[in-house]
């Protein structure tokens, strides 16, 4: 399962977590998590994302930090059972989660589909890894 933007939020809520309904009003001093919407295009790299060393995402992208775009006013608040935080913005807002159990479960708050081609090609590795995980799952089910 791969959740992007609202997908990470939905994944967290469905599994029993909560959301900040409005980052700006609930987290004074937070970054502008709607910053990428204020410039042309969708590939504006608004802030860095610190990745948890040893996480699937850090290993797959080959780094413990990289920039991301940001288009959201809501964010993961309390983490659902079965998920673990694997990425955060500089202000502490959750930017990535992974499943703590078996199977492929990944959620990212940014929009890597707008970044992989030119803004930061490392994001393409996320999609290649997702396809690889789906292929392995399909082969195991046969």
pLDDT tens per residue, range 94-123: 999 999 998 999 999 999 999 998 899 999
CB-based burial label for 140 (10 Å; 0-12, 13-18, 19+): exposed
pLDDT at 69: 95
Q: What is the pLDDT of residue 104?
A: 95
* Active-site pick, 47, 98, 111, 117: 111
For 55, list phi and psi in degrees, rounded to 5.
-75, 160
Quick: pLDDT tens for 6-31. Answer: 999 999 999 999 999 999 999 999 99
> Which two structure tokens, joined as six digits, stand for 91?
């202000």
- Every domain of the chain and the residues it spans: 2-141
pLDDT tier, 141 (very low <50, low <70, confident <90, very high otherwise)? confident
pLDDT at position 8 is 98
- Share of residues in the chain with pLDDT > 70 (%): 100
Ramachandran sector of residue 84 (left: φ over 0; alpha: ψ -120 to 50; beta: rest): beta
- Tell me how crowded residue 38 is: count the other CB atoms within 10 A of its CB: 10
pLDDT in the model for residue 80: 98
* Structure letter (DSSP) for residue 36: G
Annotated active-site residue in 5, 33, 47, 98: 5
Distance CA 36, CA 72 (A): 9
Question: Rounded to whole angstroms, how far apart are CA atoms 140 and 131?
Answer: 14
Instruction: Please identify which of the residues 110, 113, 117, 132 carries the catalytic annotation.
Output: 113
pTM summary value: 0.94
**Residue 5 bears catalytic tag:** yes
Report helix, strand or coil for 48: strand
Query: Tokens standing for 70?
Result: 């940001």
Q: Give CA separation, 87 vs 50, 70, 134, in Å.
A: 5, 14, 22
Q: In this model, does residue 142 exceed pLDDT 90?
A: no
- Is CATH 3.40.50.880 correct for 2-141? yes
> Predicted confidence band at 71 (pLDDT cuts at 50, 70, 90)?
very high
Separation of alpha carbons 112 and 51, rounded Å: 15
């Amino acid at each position: 399962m791969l959740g992007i933007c609202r997908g990470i939020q939905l994944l967290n809520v469905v599994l029993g977590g909560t959301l900040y309904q409005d980052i700006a009003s609930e987290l004074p001093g937070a970054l502008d998590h709607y910053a990428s919407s204020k410039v042309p295009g969708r590939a504006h790299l608004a802030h860095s994302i610190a990745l948890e060393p040893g996480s699937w995402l850090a290993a797959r992208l080959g780094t413990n930090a990289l920039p991301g775009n940001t288009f959201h006013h809501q964010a993961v608040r309390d983490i659902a059972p079965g998920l673990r935080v694997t990425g955060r913005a500089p202000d502490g807002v959750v930017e990535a989660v992974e499943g703590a159990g078996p199977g492929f479960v990944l959620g990212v708050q940014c929009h890597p589909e707008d970044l992989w081609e030119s803004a930061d090609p490392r994001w393409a590795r996320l999609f290649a890894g997702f396809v690889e995980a789906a292929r392995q799952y399909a082969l195991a089910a046969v």
